[in-house]
């Protein structure tokens, strides 16, 4: 179990499972609620949960120990996350969860492209095939036929 807890694959699969539950729970939760208010409520829950985790695990660090560069990029990440959540909840309000979630997962394709373009990451031929397959799969899952 200790090996699993230090494995990025374990945490990525757990993230995927929670993301799937997020789509299902949010689709039901947003049914009779304004999508923006639903996003706000979700954000409060996340803030409280993460605050409790930081305190319980002793992982809080002095805010002065964080570089301005880190602050800038965390701020930008927060703005992007907020935009993503607002758009995601609106999409769930209007569409089927089984179609909205795969389109949202095109972020996997975009991360690969952005990682190569902006971070200098390299992908092998099988990696690029995976990117194409994920994109194709997302389109096919979202297809209303």
Residue spans of the domains in the chain: they are 20-96, 105-145
Structure tokens at 139: 């389109």
Query: Is the pTM higher than 0.85?
Result: no
Given a cut of 90, whether residue 107 has pLDDT beyond it is yes
Chain-wide mean pLDDT for the chain? 93
Residues 6+ apart with CB under 8 A from 144: 99
- Alpha carbon of 3 to those of 8, 10, 15, 16, 103: distances in Å? 10, 9, 17, 19, 33
15-72 residue pLDDT tens: 889 888 988 999 999 999 999 999 999 999 999 999 999 999 999 999 999 999 999 9
How far is it, in rounded angstroms, from Cα 9 to Cα 4? 8
Instruction: Look at residue 145 and tell me whether its pLDDT is greater than 80.
Output: no
**Helix, strand, coil shares of the chain as percentages rounded to 5?**
80, 0, 20
The CA radius of gyration of the chain, in Å to the nearest whole number, is 18
Assign 6 a pLDDT band (cuts: 50, 70, 90): confident
Flag whether pLDDT at 144 surpasses 90. Answer: no
């Amino acid at each position: 179990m200790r090996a699993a807890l230090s494995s990025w694959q374990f945490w990525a699969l757990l993230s995927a499972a929670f993301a799937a539950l997020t789509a299902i729970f949010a689709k039901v939760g947003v049914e009779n609620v304004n999508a923006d208010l639903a996003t706000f409520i979700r954000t409060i829950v996340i803030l409280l949960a993460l605050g409790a985790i930081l305190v319980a695990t002793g992982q809080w660090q002095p805010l002065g120990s964080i570089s301005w560069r880190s602050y800038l990029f965390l701020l930008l990440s927060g703005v992007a996350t907020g935009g993503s959540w607002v758009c995601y909840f609106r999409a769930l309000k209007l569409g089927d969860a089984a179609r909205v979630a795969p389109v949202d997962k095109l972020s996997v394709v975009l991360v690969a492209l952005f990682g190569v373009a902006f971070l200098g990451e390299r992908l092998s031929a099988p990696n690029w095939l995976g990117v194409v397959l994920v994109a194709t799969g997302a389109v096919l899952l979202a297809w209303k036929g």
